[in-house]
Amino acid sequence: MSWIALKMLTGDTFKFLFMVFAIAFASLLMAQQASIFWGLMRNTTSQIRDVEGADIWVMDPNVRFVDDIKPLSENDTYRVRGVPGVKWAVRFYKGQARARFADGNFQQFLLLGVDDATLVGAPRTEKMIMGGLGDLRIPDACIMDEAGYRYLWPGEPFEIGRTFEMNDHRAVIVGICEASPTFQTFPIVYTTYTQATRYVPSERKVLSFVLVQGEDGVPTEEVCRRIEAQTGLAALTSEQFVNKTIVYYLQRTGIAINFGITVSLGFFVGAAVAGLVFFLFTLENLKQFGTLKAMGVSNLRIVGMILLQGFVAGLLGYGIGVGSAAAFGVTLGAVVKTVPPAFNMHPYILIGTGVAVILIVVISSLFSIRRVMVVEPAIVFR
């Protein structure tokens, strides 16, 4: 019976391909938009994920997300170091700075100031394309991310030694590194904490965060609780800070609603078109189903045949749609070098798109099943 069902499905090649195309288009739209949405959310937390070696971020209690900087006092670093369970704590600067180049042009930068002694917060060694992390200790030294360099000097080879000015202080590029794309797409500059404070206008408080590592054997959540209880500051694990930032963007921006509308549109369009085509296909094959009923085939077996037809079309459409979405992301990433696209196809997206396609197939099949269940075997003799 399965072979008969497949022969009936592919009997009208045009309708079969059109049904597969409808499901493929819905899968493409849902997977592509969801991947862009996921990529944007990852970009909002890229600077948290890029910092390794520290499990805890200490900040002002009123900080709502990673870019909502509320400066701390330098004394807060020592207060955190005095909390039981804290192995070490270092300063970390995060902010924006305006750079002026020799040709008179200005460019906004994301400026990250890492600990002078340990360089905690700097890019990992394996992420360095040119230069070394130790070069940050050279006076006026900074490391720029690869995407930012390509944006500032498109088409030019990587070159160490380029200079520019920030806050009337000279900055020299001593290294180029890989860094995760950011939400704001500004070039990223790493330097030491002391040097970073010279690159920004003078303020009474400039400390953005305190990066903390807990002692071995003490749960990270317990260290966070102790820091909050003793200092009154907020202490979050990296994962908690990532989640807090994402929740802020979901609640306070229209990103989730806009992408949700597009994904829902893809689902409903796919369900409507596939359901209509599948229903027309069933109507044209009512005599065949009536013949099977006259031969003694049960309704349950016929329902199984219809579901098999729907799932075959759905599987083909899902594969084509998701494959096209993945090809779109890979191609876009290979073509666009200066501003990396926000595209990340997480396995959850594949699972979610698959569930949506199953719902489309089930909804499409229900209309056909209802029509076939009430057909009389005598229709073949009319």
Q: Which residues contact 292 (CB under 8 A, 6 or more apart)?
A: 4, 302
**Statement to judge: residues 85 and 224 lie in one domain:** yes
Count of CB atoms within 10 A of residue 211's CB? 24
Instruction: Give 11 or 379, the one with higher predicted confidence.
Output: 11
Is the pLDDT at 378 greater than 60? The verdict is no
Q: Which residues contact 186 (CB under 8 A, 6 or more apart)?
A: 96, 108, 109, 110, 148
Domain annotation covers residue 309: yes
Q: What's phi and psi for 97, nearest 5 deg?
A: -140, 150
pLDDT at 343: 82
Is the pLDDT at 366 greater than 70? The verdict is yes
Q: Which of 181, 198, 232 is a domain's end point? A: 232
**Statement to judge: residues 193 and 302 lie in one domain:** no
**Statement to judge: residues 369 and 317 lie in one domain:** yes
Beta partners for 145? 177
Distances (CA, A) of 374 to 287, 289, 324, 381: 13, 11, 39, 16
| Average pLDDT rounded to a whole number, residues 171-177 | 94
Torsional sign, CA 261, 264, 269, 272: negative
Report whether 35 contacts 199 (CB < 8 A). no
Instruction: Give 5 or 32, the one with higher predicted confidence.
Output: 32
Domain annotation covers residue 243: no
Interval 305-325: pLDDT, tens: 777 777 888 888 899 999 998
Q: Which of 217, 232, 247 is a domain's end point? A: 232
Total residue count of the chain as it appears in this document: 382
Q: Which of 190, 216, 232 is a domain's end point? A: 232
Q: What's phi and psi for 159, nearest 5 deg?
A: -145, 125
Model confidence at 230, pLDDT cuts 50, 70, 90, reads very high
Q: What's phi and psi for 72, nearest 5 deg?
A: -105, 165
Helices (H), 61-203: 75-81, 146-152, 193-199
Mean pLDDT for the chain? Answer: 84
Model confidence at 29, pLDDT cuts 50, 70, 90, reads confident
**Statement to judge: residues 260 and 186 lie in one domain:** no
Q: Which domain holds residue 363?
A: 2-43+256-381
CA-based R_g, the chain, Å: 29
Domain annotation covers residue 244: no
**Statement to judge: residues 21 and 162 lie in one domain:** no
Interval 98-123: pLDDT, tens: 999 888 889 999 999 999 999 998 88
Interval 334-360: pLDDT, tens: 776 556 667 888 889 999 888 888 888
Domain annotation covers residue 328: yes
Q: Which long-range contacts (CB under 8 A, 24 or more apart) does 353-359 make?
A: 353/27, 353/30, 353/31, 353/34, 353/318, 353/321, 353/322, 354/318, 356/26, 356/27, 356/30, 356/267, 357/23, 357/26, 357/27, 357/270, 357/314, 357/317, 357/318, 357/321, 358/311, 358/314, 359/267, 359/271
Which amino acid, 302? I
Report whether 199 contacts 100 (CB < 8 A). no
**Statement to judge: residues 210 and 273 lie in one domain:** no
Model confidence at 8, pLDDT cuts 50, 70, 90, reads low
**Statement to judge: residues 200 and 268 lie in one domain:** no
Report whether 146 contacts 176 (CB < 8 A). yes
pLDDT at 43: 87
Is the pLDDT at 369 greater than 80? The verdict is no
**Statement to judge: residues 227 and 124 lie in one domain:** yes
**Statement to judge: residues 150 and 21 lie in one domain:** no
Interval 255-264: pLDDT, tens: 888 888 888 8
**Statement to judge: residues 37 and 119 lie in one domain:** no
Give the Cα separation of 133 and 125 in Å (integer). 7
Model confidence at 273, pLDDT cuts 50, 70, 90, reads confident
* Number of domains forming the structure of the chain: 2
Give the Cα separation of 178 and 128 in Å (integer). 6
pLDDT at 103: 82
Count of CB atoms within 10 A of residue 334's CB? 8
Beta partners for 294? none
pLDDT at 268: 82
Is the pLDDT at 276 greater than 80? The verdict is no
**Statement to judge: residues 267 and 189 lie in one domain:** no
pLDDT at 6: 64
| Average pLDDT rounded to a whole number, residues 53-70 | 92
Is the pLDDT at 292 greater than 80? The verdict is no
pLDDT at 105: 87
